[in-house]
């Protein structure tokens, strides 16, 4: 299959993926609003064993409301958010759509954490919505 490639704004971090994406979702949780400059993050889920990453990442670790320990990885040089991983689901890696070379590769399948979105948020009515965390994709 065709490789899916991406990296950060400054080019210090590059990655390639050799698997089909499992899901694409928009997340309006409060933490994502910090990461995405006030909007929802756009996230693509892949099997973590199909990604090869080159370059240095910094890791912001925090504990989610669910008790899950989360790692959010970004480029220490340019600050681009690239990956999110939950310690409870090590077989999955979430890739920020903005870090893909082709940001039009996929279209979102759902909007999650709508309960934390601001009132002005534009939420696509044609997509499934979850007020909080949806059931795991795998
Ligand atoms: Zn960078
Ligand atoms: Zn979120």
The secondary structure element, H or E, covering residue 95 is strand 92-96
Instruction: Name the pTM for this structure.
Output: 0.94
| CB distance 94 to 83 below 8 Å | yes
Question: What is residue 136's DSSP assignment?
Answer: P
CB 92 within 8 A of CB 48: yes
Ligand that comes closest to the CA of residue 10: 1
C-alpha 36 – ligand 2 centre gap (Å): 10
Q: Is the pLDDT of residue 97 over 80?
A: yes
Q: How far apart are CA 100 and CA 37, in angstroms?
A: 18
Tell me the three state secondary structure of residue 30: helix
The CA 13 to ligand 1 mean position distance, Å, reads 6
Per residue in 44-80, pLDDT (tens digit) is: 999 999 999 999 999 999 998 778 899 999 999 999 9
pLDDT band with cut points at 50, 70 and 90 for residue 90:
very high
Can you read off the two tokens belonging to residue 23? 């899901």
Instruction: State both tokens at 26.
Output: 């928009």
What is the structure's pLDDT at 2?
A: 83
């Amino acid at each position: 299959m065709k490789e899916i490639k991406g990296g950060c704004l400054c080019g210090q971090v590059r990655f390639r993926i050799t698997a089909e994406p499992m899901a694409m979702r928009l997340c309006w949780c409060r933490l994502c609003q910090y990461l995405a400059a006030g909007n929802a993050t756009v996230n693509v889920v892949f099997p973590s064993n199909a990604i090869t990453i080159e370059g240095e990442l910094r890791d912001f670790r925090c504990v989610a409301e669910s008790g899950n320990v989360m790692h959010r990885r970004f480029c220490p040089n340019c600050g681009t958010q690239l990956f999110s991983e939950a310690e409870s689901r090590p077989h999955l890696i979430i890739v920020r759509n903005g870090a893909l070379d082709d940001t039009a590769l996929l279209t979102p399948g759902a909007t999650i954490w709508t309960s934390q979105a601001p009132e002005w948020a534009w939420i696509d009515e044609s997509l499934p919505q979850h007020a909080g965390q949806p059931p795991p994709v795998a």
